[in-house]
Amino acid sequence: MKWNYGEIYKSIRKGKGLVQTDVCHPQLNRGTLTRIENYNQNTSFETMQHLLNQINVSLEEFEYICNEFQPDAREKIITDYYSLVSNAEIEKINCLKTDCSNYLKKYEDNKIREIYTILTSLIELNSDTSKHISKSTKQLVDKVWERLEKIDTWTYDDIRMINSIFYSLDFDTIIHLIPKLITSLHKYTNYKNVNILHTSLLLNLSFTYMQKKLFKNSMIYLNQAESLAKKLNRVDFIAVAMVRIGICTKNRKNIDDGLTLLRIVANNRLSESLQDEIHDFYPDY
């Protein structure tokens, strides 16, 4: 990150044809702004937020500009990690693990190390026909949950991380945490991209019940997931919901329609993953 934010702010302000008085307010005079822009004075978050509002630039965009119009390496890893739709996206998972490894060679970062651990476990799951991860990797993933379990109020990122390690939690643990998950997620109803997380969470919950052959319980979450996925216009989520609804209700057409969607968009990996589910839960298909 290029942290000479005062100089960058000044450049954007002048580029928009704004003079200092256009962005100041009674508690921020021109002298103070000059010191900020010349990098001779730090400023509070509240003041910086005001200044960015005056030039119509969001904090997220400003960080992007400060990083010379490139995504921050750390944020890119986190974004790519949470963008994974299925554990079957093995090429993406391998590439992302390499990115994590390269980043950790330069910086010590607990968040990236947790992601690295989880990616390692996903690779092991994909490479082992018995769908197991090594004891040492399982212990490391368990530590991620132990950290999250102790938190009284989960933030948006905490919920995303929990959602990504569902596969490693036992059934009773998942059932126990559902009320807290729902309560925590509800606080973010109007937050950007929350429906993507919500849909992914519902699909993961549905699979948890499917693994226990509790198909009626699974349907509760699948119906909600399908509805949200259609609002999002996410073909991948729609297809997963349709196929799983077909499995739970023994409806071949639903399954066929879901797989057809994935063929149209050439999402072969996800299609193969769902066909494994069909084989496991609906062998007579």
* pLDDT at position 130: 54
Cα distances (angstroms) measured from residue 261 to each of 22, 68, 174, 240 = 52, 39, 30, 10
Average pLDDT over residues 84-93: 85
Average pLDDT over residues 217-246: 97
Average pLDDT over residues 72-83: 92
Average pLDDT over residues 139-143: 89
**Rounded to 5 degrees, what angle do the CA atoms 243, 248, 254 make?**
35
d(CA 173, CA 166): 10
CATH for 192-285?
A: 1.25.40
Q: Compute the mean pLDDT over every residue in the chain, rounded to the nearest whole number.
A: 92
pLDDT bin (cut points 50, 70, 90) of residue 42 is confident
Is residue 221 a contact partner of residue 212, using CB atoms and an 8 Å limit? no
* pLDDT at position 156: 95
d(CA 137, CA 120): 7
* pLDDT at position 241: 98
Residue 127's CB is within 10 A of a number of other CB atoms, namely: 10
Is residue 107 a contact partner of residue 75, using CB atoms and an 8 Å limit? no
Amino acid identity of 14?
K
Q: Does domain 5-66 have CATH number 1.10.1060.10?
A: no
**pLDDT of residue 1 exceeding 80:** no
Q: Where are the domains of the chain?
A: 5-66, 192-285
* pLDDT at position 41: 85
d(CA 98, CA 96): 5
* pLDDT at position 2: 52
**pLDDT of residue 80 exceeding 70:** yes
Each residue's pLDDT tens digit, 47-77: 999 999 999 999 999 999 998 888 889 999 9
What residues have CB less than 8 Å from 16, skipping those under 6 apart? 55, 56
